[in-house]
Structures are given as C-alpha cells and as structure tokens.
Amino acid sequence: MGISSLQISSLYTQCLRGLVLLSLMLCSSIPSFGVDGYLNQVLWDCEYSDSSMTDMVFSMRYVFNQQEIIHYDTKIKKHVGNSACGVLNAEAWNKDKGRLAELLGEVDRYCKHNMGLYRGGTTDREIPPAVRVRTMKPFSSQHQTMLVCNAFGFYPREIKVIWLRNGVEMTADVSSSELLSDGDWTYQIHSYLELIPQSGDSYTCRVEHSSLTEAIEVQWDPAMPESKRNKIIIGASGIVLGLAIAAAGLIYYKKKATGRILVPSD
C-alpha cells in the first residue's frame, strides 16, 4: 500500500515540528513545552560498573510526549530512530561526522569528569566506625551477662562485627540489630553476646570495615565489673579536675602577688 502525497506532507510537517523542538532542547537539558503544548525532553545518562570507569557508556534519549523517538549511546556510536519522525532525524544526524565525534567525546568530557567529582562524596566516601563494648541486662535468665558491641557513625554501610573468646570466633548466643541509618549518610549497628563469664577467658569485639587499614578490636575484661570500671573513670576524672583547679588557683595567686607593692614601715 503506497503513501499519498498528503500523508508525506503531514509526516514532513510533524518532523519539522519535532526538529524545531529538539533544536530548542539542545540548548537546555530540562523539559520544555512547545507553542502547542507538546512536551519534549532530552535525557543524558552515564552508566558504568567498574571503579576504573573504563566501561563508561554515555547515552542520550530524545523523548516527545513521553515517547522515546531517538536513542544514542557510545556503544553503538550512532542514533537510532524509534518512530517515523525519529528515523528521519537519526539518519540525518548520523551523516554528521563532527556531531558523532563530539558525542563520543562526552564519555570523558561529561561522564568521567562529573563522576570524578561526585564519587568523592558518594561511592568513594569512607568514614571509620567508632566502637565500644558495654554490658547490659541479658535477654534471658540463662546467662549472667550480656555484652553489647556498638559500632556507629560509619560509611559505607557494609560492615562485619564478630565476637572472639580467647581469639576464637563465637557464633552461639550471638545476635545483632538491623543496620540503622543515622540520617546523615552514616550507619550504626549493635551486636549482642550473652554469656556466663569464665575465669581466665577474654572476650573481644572485632569490627572490620573498608575504611580501616586493620580491624578494630575492643576487649572486655570479665575480671573487673563495669560498675568498678565506671568508678575508676569517675575517680580519675575527679583527680584531673582537682589538679586543674589547683593549678588555676596557684596561677591567680602568683599574678596577684606580682602586682602588690610593698611599703616599708617606720
């Protein structure tokens, strides 16, 4: 079945309208409306899977009224039309060697350049965890003690927390909270160990994270109750504070003594 001259004229008119809208959009990468209320978009994408970005692919999609009419990407190195009007535009653009060379250069100029800027605050961002071990009331009455290993303030989210008894990994009576988001691109997680402390045993929380050159290990000493450890910390803090106050008083006294004028008596 042939195409009438009227149909060809109508198609040509539609393509001209599309070319005008696309030409307008080439000056901007945001959606725009034509004079008749038609919506036209040009979408730029950068895709890669290897951290070296050697497999980077730059692509462009021309969308008219939510229908993709032309597609380009650096894998095929040409435009492909998805509609009658798109085919006409794609054929014309593929004849422009300068345009094709410029689009191929966007892999380095647009994609790799911008991803190098973004990765510092996204995929390459690393914050080491802060780790502490404390005791709390056991979940069950079968154990005397429950240890909690808190790892918080870290990024990225992948982390490994294990318990060691005398250097050997423990799996029994170990549980963990879900990975919790802090709302500022950092995370926290809590690992629990229920146990009956044995004389001579040492218990260690080991945390492995990509931001660390070596794992963090925090040991819990069952020979010293936590209440006693807290008293020692409070006592040491009091001594330090007392020394600081005494030093400040001594400095103040010396300054006052220096500024005093001695008058000889008759």
**CB count in 10 Å sphere of residue 133:** 20
Note whether residue 3 is domain-resident: no
**CB count in 10 Å sphere of residue 42:** 19
Note whether residue 94 is domain-resident: yes
Among residues 15, 105, 135, 100, the alpha carbon closest in space to that of 64 is found at 15
Beta carbons of 165 and 156 less than 8 angstroms apart: no
Among residues 265, 96, 263, 126, the alpha carbon closest in space to that of 187 is found at 126
Task: Identify the pLDDT of residue 16.
Answer: 40
Q: Who's near 16: CB < 8 A, 6+ residues apart?
A: none
Note whether residue 15 is domain-resident: yes
Note whether residue 178 is domain-resident: yes
Residue type, 180: L
Note whether residue 158 is domain-resident: yes
- Shared domain check, 153 and 89: no
Task: Identify the pLDDT of residue 2.
Answer: 42
Note whether residue 104 is domain-resident: yes
- Shared domain check, 179 and 101: no
- Shared domain check, 111 and 14: yes
Q: What is the pLDDT along the chain (266 residues), one digit of tens a residue?
A: 443 433 333 443 344 444 433 433 333 334 455 555 678 899 999 998 887 888 999 999 999 888 999 999 999 999 999 999 899 999 999 999 999 999 999 999 999 998 888 877 766 788 999 999 999 888 766 778 899 999 999 999 999 999 999 999 999 989 999 999 998 889 999 999 998 888 888 999 999 999 999 999 999 877 655 555 555 445 555 665 666 676 666 666 666 666 554 445 55
Using the 3D structure, point to which of 90, 119, 148 is the last residue of a domain: 119
Which pTM does this prediction carry? 0.47
Note whether residue 258 is domain-resident: no
- Shared domain check, 164 and 87: no
The CA distances from residue 169 to 149, 160, 164, 173, in Å, are 14, 12, 4, 12
Domain extent, residue 60, equals 9-119
The total number of residues written for the chain in this structure: 266
Both tokens of 53, joined, read 């970005």
- Shared domain check, 147 and 97: no
**Structural domain count of the chain:** 2
Note whether residue 1 is domain-resident: no
Per DSSP, the three-state class of 43 is strand
- Shared domain check, 13 and 88: yes
Task: Identify the pLDDT of residue 136.
Answer: 86
- Shared domain check, 30 and 108: yes
Task: Identify the pLDDT of residue 200.
Answer: 84
DSSP H or E segment with residue 147? strand 145-154
Lookup result for tokens 């911008």: 114
- Shared domain check, 102 and 149: no
- Shared domain check, 188 and 163: yes
Beta carbons of 218 and 204 less than 8 angstroms apart: yes
- Shared domain check, 113 and 23: yes
Using the 3D structure, point to which of 59, 86, 119 is the last residue of a domain: 119
Residue 209: give its domain's CATH number. 2.60.40.10
